[in-house]
Structures are given as structure tokens and as C-alpha cells.
Amino acid sequence: MLEGILQGLTTALSFYNLLMVVIGCLIGTFIGMLPGLGPMSIIAIMIPVAIQLGNPAAALIMLAGVYYGAIFGGSTSSILINAPGVAGTVATSFDGYPMARQGKAGKALTIAAIASFCGGTVGAVLLFGFAPALSSVAILFWSSEYFALMVLGMTAVAAFAGRDQVLKALLMTIVGVMLATVGESALHNAPRFTLGLMDLQSGIYFVTLVMGLFALPEALFLILRRGKGVVESDKLMKIENLRISKAEAKQMAPVIGRQSIAGFLIGVLPGAGATIASFLGYAMERNIAPAGDRKQFGKGSIKGLAAPETANNAACTGSFVPLLTLGIPGSGTTAILLGALIALNVSPGPGLMTDRPEVFWSVIISMYVGNLVLLMLNLPLIPYIARLLAVPRNYLVPFVLFFALIGSYIGQNNPTELLIMIGLGIVATIFRFTGFPLPPLIIGFILGGMMEDNLGRAIRRSGGIEFLWERPMTLALLILALILLIAPYLLDKLKIRERLMSN
Amino acid sequence: MIRPDRIVALLLIAFSIGYGLLAWNYALLPFEEQMPFKPNTMPVGLAIAGIILAVAVLIFPGGHRGLSSDADGWRRFDWISTGAIFLLMVLYALTLRPLGYVLSTTLFLVLGAIVLGERRFTVLIPVAAITAYGTWYLVQQVLGVFLRPWPELLI
């Protein structure tokens, strides 16, 4: 393991890869700041570039930098204009924006950056311990366990979609798996569901799907909602005095300590990502704060700003644990990263740590470097980067659309791909309008192929579906998936009964 | 009026049935018929799950209706510009090869900004042209992906 760590350290600290982290963080911050553009779209836009790099370690390091940068950029727009670019930073605006309105925008940004840095760093240290441990357990997994694990991952994402949306999320997951079956599969060489179209022979191109589902609708929503929440340059808060006092640092410290660990653990759970971690972190700190401090929450509290910022970054790091060790993405963003890895011929899973130690460890180490870059490079630059918020939408939207279109085009060099993407964009816009969540669809799509392979292998091995109840670990994972799905309903029923009894 | 998410659920029932029919009628090779896991085993299962879930959404659509619950919002949305941008994207896809990358991209960026209300052509046209040429240079020269820069007629 030590050899692997050293190999990862050399890879991560090479000049080229350090440059990739810096570029990734800067691009992520730039685009993540734009309201409406989340990390999924930004990573999707950057995937063709990452694939062209050819080197899986460099590609993943850059994309991880983009991910962190996007979260940091989202915090910046939450604080400065009360318009979070990313769902995970909505809680940041609760206290960040009031602070900025009190003329403490610089201070709020510093607190956010330090909290993010600490959250990310503690997360990276925990990842160091967690990932190898989980990898060694995962080596015992057979294809039947992998199948069950994928079912668990998909149901967890659906279960965390929100109580009113579980059925819709499950349906979207199934649609995603259906789309994954288009074209040739690893087990069967004959193409399926291509409707005679040659362009679908090798399946739906993953970048086209991601762009069509995320980047395109988000840019189109910016047009649809023109006039609503548009930022004028004079509304932009002035950023002065980035320093924080010792007393403020003392106030932040315990919050950061608690939320780094809590955020990381939430991030490790499949389905619960940065958004849930940040809201839970905020709620937890408000509940345990002394009465005087509690009153400050929502009015520019330092604790209220530090809590979600620490938790969301720690959760981002945590979400890499299931991705790197099991090859199971816990969120839409990590699903997109998994797709990028597969495109680069790297299959994440328990074998990654032993087969490609330079990729495994360099990604973990580069996360730490990424946090350092955000703190040392992006924070001083933020007054300048923030000017991007004043760029008129008239310019911004066609450019974002162009990058989405061209990202899909350069991957395949085929204009039909663009038409498929526009079609997917229309469908995705309708889904978003009607409350059908899209992340489960992408997770279904990414995991669909692997799920079929593992299911096929397991059935061939045991000659039927007996493995579902004969292998204890498979059965346990499937039962856990079932519990995740029905637990919210049962808890609801219990609460209603309790309320009726007390009345 | 029927809720929009129920209409989507109905469409997804139709989609699942269509997918299921394609899966059911999939022409298996003679040796595949004896296999415990056929190429259409999982697709048939998926179609059944899709139909059941879509019917469940149709019956219990839940409280979350997305943006469609905001009836006034629908009218205030800028549908005309969005439609125009969609058309422009289709045009861009169709002209990318005949017009070449640089010209079609410049046109897309300029027309897109005009649709959204931009009128400062002295800024817009150079910015669009530089972006188009700059990205072509990056993609072809740095990343090494071939993109036809100029119209087919010229080359």
C-alpha cells in the first residue's frame, strides 16, 4: 500500500497534474459561479477535454478539481448575489448573503473558503483510511454481490430524491437502465433497440446524454426565466477585507470539526450527497448552538455559514469512497465521473487500488491539493473572478449552449449526435417541468450496462436466480435496498398514528 | 385538466410497452434460446418494471409537481426566445459540416445573442468570431481532433 501511496504522490505532484488541478479548479469556479449551472453540467462540458487528455489519472484529477471549483463557485454566487449556482450551496446563502449585505462579503468568502478547505482536507484524510478498508472488503464480492450493490445504489438515490418523488425517481432509474441497453452489450455482441439506426449501433454516447439531460436544460432555463433573478452589475457586492479575526476563527473551529466528519459520512452513503449534508449540517449546528448564537442564524451567523460549507465539501470527498472502491456512484456527479473513467478504459472497483494504484492514490492526494489551490489561488482571485457575474446573459447563454453542443460533437465527430442531444434536451426539459428527477436516470444509464453484465454472470454461474437468496451478502444488500425504499413511508405512517393517538 | 406529470407518466407507459414489445420480439439466435440469461431477459424485466412504476406514478403522482405547478410562471416564461434558440441549435447541427466549424459557430453565437436581445454588433461579432476560431485552434491543434474549419466548397 505504501508503494501505491508513493506512486500516487509522485503522479499527483508532477507538474502536469498540478497544472490540471489548477486549471480544473479555476474552470470549475468560473462556471460554477453562474447561477443555474451545476457541477454536473460543468463536468459534462469538461469530459470531452478530459478524455482527449488520454491519461486517466490526469483526467480524473482535472475533473475532481472542476467538481471542487464548481462547489466553491456556487458558494461565491450564493454569498454575493443570493443565487446559488449549485444545490449543495443553497444553505450557504442563508447566512452568507446576509453577511455580504452587512458589507462583510470578503469575510464571508474567506470563511466559506476556509470551511471548505478544512472540510475537504479532513474528508481527504478520512478517505485515505476508508477507501483501502472498503476495497479489501469489496475484493470478496462476486458478480451477484455487485448486482445487489448496484440495485442498492440505484434505490438509495431514488429513496433520497424526496418523499414525494420516490416513485418518479425509481421510474427514471428504470428509463436510464433501458437507455443503457441500446446498442451492443459486453455479454451479447448483437445490437439491440437501435431501430435500424447505424448511429445507435454502439449505444447512446454518454457525453451526449449528460449534455442533453443537464447542460442543455439548465442553459434553456436561463432563457426561459429571463427577467427573473437577473443579476445587474450594480447589485454585485463589493469584496473588501478578506481577513477574519481570531475570535471568529475560534467560533468556526468546533463547527468545522463536527461537520467535516458528519459531512464525510453522509457523502459516503449512496444517494445522500453534498446537498443533504449541507442542510443537515446547518440544521445540526443551529440546534446545538446556545440560545444567543441561535438567534444569529439566518442573519449572518459565522457558524451558520461555516457549517454547510464544511459539510458539503467533506461530503464531496466522501462520495468518492463508493466510486473508487466499489465502482458505484453515490450521486449524479460521481456517476458522470464514473462514465468518464469507463471512457478512459479504467474500471473503478476493488481492483483499482491494486491494478492502477497511481490513479487511485493520485486522485485522493489531488483532492487535498485541490482544496489547497482553492484556498491559496481562488480566494485572492475571487474579486476578479466574481466580475463574471456581471456578464450579460445575452452573451453567456449562447456560449454555454455552444460548449455543450461542441463537447458532444468532438467526441463522435457526427452532427447526428447533436440532433440526438437536442432531442434529449427537449425530453429532459419536460421531465424537469413535471418534477421527474434526472440524476436517477443518469445513474441508471451508467450502472445499467454493468448491472446486466453482473446479473448475467451470476445467473450463468448458478443456473438460475437462486443466488438472490442463497448468497447471504447478496440477500443482505437487497434487503437493505428494500428497507431504504419503504422506511420513509413506514416512518410517516408511525408519525401519523402517534399524532392521532396523542390527539 | 389532467396534471402534466400524469401525461408524462402516460407517455412513459407507452414508451415501456414499446420497449417491452421490441424486447419480447427480439430475434434470438438458436444457441441463445438455450441460455439461462438471454439478450432480452433483462430488457423484458425492465419493461415490466417500467410499466408498473409508470402506472403507479399515474395513480399516485405525489405532491411534487416541479415547475408545472407554477401556473402563472408558465405564462411569464420566455417561450419564443427558447423556441428560437432550439431552432438555432438544430440549424447549427445541420450546417456544421456544409458551412464548416468556424462559420457555423460564429453564426450560431451571433444569432443566439441577437435572439436574446443583444444589439452591440461591434462587440458581438468579433467576440463570436474569436471564440469560434480560438476553440477550433484548441480542439484541432492542441487536442488533435479534426474539425473542418471552412465550408466544404472551399476545400
pLDDT tens-digit map of B19-37: 999 999 888 888 878 888 8
Instruction: Count CB pairs under 8 A between chains A and B.
Output: 184
Strand partners, A183: A192
Quote the pLDDT of residue A8. 78
Residue A268 cell numbers, joined: 459516503
Exposed e or buried b per residue across A98-127, where buried means at least 16 C-beta atoms within 10 angstroms of its C-beta: bbbeeebbbbbbbbbbbbbbbbbbbbbebb
**Per-residue pLDDT band at A233 (split at 50, 70, 90):** very low
- Residue A295: which residues within 8 A CB-CB, separation 6 or more? none
**Per-residue pLDDT band at B130 (split at 50, 70, 90):** very high
- Cite the DSSP H helix spans in A82-165: 90-101, 105-138, 143-159
| Average pLDDT estimate for A483-490 | 80
| The Cα angle at residue A121 between residues A115 and A124, in degrees rounded to 5 | 140
Least confident of A292-306, B19-33, B57-71: B57-71
B90/A contact by beta carbon, under 8 A: yes
Quote the pLDDT of residue A230. 45
| Average pLDDT estimate for A97-105 | 83
Residue with cell 385538466: B1
**Per-residue pLDDT band at B103 (split at 50, 70, 90):** very high
Which residue, among A402, A69, A425, has the nearest Cα to B107 in the 3D structure? A402
Q: Where are the domains of chain B?
A: 4-75, 79-154
Residue A247 cell numbers, joined: 475570535
Residue B84 cell numbers, joined: 428560437
Q: What is the pLDDT of residues A443-483, one digit of tens each?
A: 888 888 888 888 988 988 888 888 888 888 889 989 988 98
Quote the pLDDT of residue A399. 83
Residue of B42, B133, B137 best to disrupt the A interface, most CBs of A under 10 A: B42
B40 DSSP assignment: T
Handedness of CA B122, B127, B128, B130 (dihedral sign): positive
In this complex, do B62 and A165 lie within 8 Å of one another by their Cβ atoms? yes
Quote the pLDDT of residue A297. 84
Task: Provide, as residue numbers in chain A, all residues whose Cβ is less than 8 Å from the Cβ of B5.
Answer: 168, 434-436
Strand partners, A192: A183
B86/A contact by beta carbon, under 8 A: yes
Q: What is the pLDDT of residues A396-428, one digit of tens each?
A: 788 878 888 887 787 777 888 889 889 999 999
Residue of B86, B120, B123 best to disrupt the A interface, most CBs of A under 10 A: B86
In this complex, do A402 and B96 lie within 8 Å of one another by their Cβ atoms? no
B130/A contact by beta carbon, under 8 A: no
Q: What is the pLDDT of residues A182-230, one digit of tens each?
A: 988 767 777 888 887 877 888 888 878 888 888 788 778 778 776 544 4
**Per-residue pLDDT band at A239 (split at 50, 70, 90):** low
**Residue A276 pLDDT > 80, yes or no?**
no
Quote the pLDDT of residue A60. 84
Residue A39 cell numbers, joined: 457541477
**Residue A236 pLDDT > 60, yes or no?**
no
**Per-residue pLDDT band at A231 (split at 50, 70, 90):** very low
| Distance in angstroms (rounded) separating the CA atoms of residues B148 and B146 | 7
Task: Provide, as residue numbers in chain A, all residues whose Cβ is less than 8 Å from the Cβ of B66.
Answer: 432-436
| Average pLDDT estimate for A358-387 | 79
Quote the pLDDT of residue B13. 96
Longest dimension (CA), chain B: 70
**Residue A127 pLDDT > 70, yes or no?**
yes
Q: Where are the domains of chain A?
A: 2-228+253-502
**Nearest-by-Cβ selection for A171 from B26, B37, B53:** B53
Contact A214, A31 (CB under 8 A): no
In this complex, do A394 and B8 lie within 8 Å of one another by their Cβ atoms? no
Task: Provide, as residue numbers in chain B, all residues whose Cβ is less than 8 Å from the Cβ of A406.
Answer: 105, 135, 139
Portion of chain B with pLDDT greater than 70, in percent = 88
Query: Which one is predicted more confidently, A397 or A390?
Result: A397
Minimal C-alpha gap between B61 and chain A (Å):
8
In this complex, do A395 and B124 lie within 8 Å of one another by their Cβ atoms? yes
Backbone angles phi, psi at A192, to 5 degrees: -125, 150
Q: How far is CA A131 from CA A126, A264, A268, A335, B90, in A?
A: 8, 12, 10, 18, 45
| Average pLDDT estimate for A366-373 | 83
Quote the pLDDT of residue A240. 67
